[in-house]
Amino acid sequence: MPIQPSSGEEANITPPKRRSRRKLFVLLIVGVLLVWLIAAYLVMPFVWKGYAHRHPSLEDIPRITYTGSDIPGDPLNVALIGTQGEVKQIMQAARWYPADALSLRSSLLIAEDSVFKRAYEEAPVSSLYLFGRKQDLAFEQPVGNNPRQRHHVRFWRSGKVDDDGRPIWIGAAIYDQKVGFSRTTGQITHHIAGDIDNERDKLFADLKATDDLEEQYTVDGFHTIREGRNGGGDPWKTDGNLFVGVIKPSTPVEKPPD
């Protein structure tokens, strides 16, 4: 006759199916914990380290330029990452021309061409200041044969570089829509179109068409103040975003050894 377990022994016996489910549950918890540890402490830091190297922080970059009289000028809305030669090369490929240096001769020439409506592809741009100096590079694209209207962008070399040591150029892309008197100084100047995002978008459309951009990304909310007036008293507005373009290296970049 088989020996029957006492009532106390019955209470301590766990059915095999229940033990199996409990073991599976414990293994699942341990597995999820391991995945989280690997992701949180190995994978994500590596991903964000790579992202940070490729997309350097621009939080401490100024948001606006200034005139020589220390009046707020044009807002910054674009940036390029590349050597000076690469910046010049991609801008030329995009059919944006280097602006002549501002001088008495170039000023008289643009005045003459404005009167006679002759194209001046390298017309000078006025000096705006960032980091305590005027623009390092300036490019423009004429509109028809009328120098009163033009696309133009100024670039300043910032003190920042990407992971490959290439400098970051911060810029202001602005459309000049007519010539007139400055609302602040009374001087003769170009008046800008108020929606500066249109010029930012146009410049990057031209740059992408060259196939020389390796990457483009957006710094959302770069501007917290999204409207104002420039040094000539012209109103401007923006969605606040900064477009950043990474130029394809002209020569292969050798990574330093780990």
Q: What is the pLDDT of residue 169?
A: 98
Reading phi first (left if > 0) and then psi (alpha if -120 to 50, else beta), residue 98 is in: beta
Tell me, rounded to whole angstroms, the distance of Cα 6 from its chain centroid. Answer: 77
How many other CB atoms are found less than 10 A from the CB of residue 248? 14
Q: What is the pLDDT of residue 56?
A: 67
Our separate counts of H helices and E strands in the chain read: 6, 14
Q: What is the pLDDT of residue 2?
A: 55
Q: What is the pLDDT of residue 100?
A: 65
Per-residue pLDDT 10s for the chain (258 aa) are 555 555 555 555 556 767 777 878 778 888 887 777 776 566 555 544 444 445 566 778 899 999 888 889 999 999 999 999 999 999 999 999 998 655 444 444 455 455 545 444 546 678 899 999 999 999 999 887 766 788 999 999 999 999 889 999 999 999 998 665 555 555 566 678 889 999 999 999 999 999 999 999 999 999 999 999 887 788 999 999 999 999 999 865 555 444
- The type of residue at 209 is A
- The type of residue at 87 is V
DSSP assignment of 90-150: HHHHTT-EEPPPP-HHHHHHHHHHHHHT---TT------EETTEE-SEEEEEE-TT-TTSE
Separation in Å, CA 169 to CA 75, 87, 154, 191: 14, 9, 10, 24
Q: What is the pLDDT of residue 22?
A: 80
With a CB cutoff of 8 Å and minimum separation 6, the contacts of 159 are 131
Closest CA to 114 of 138, 142, 73: 142
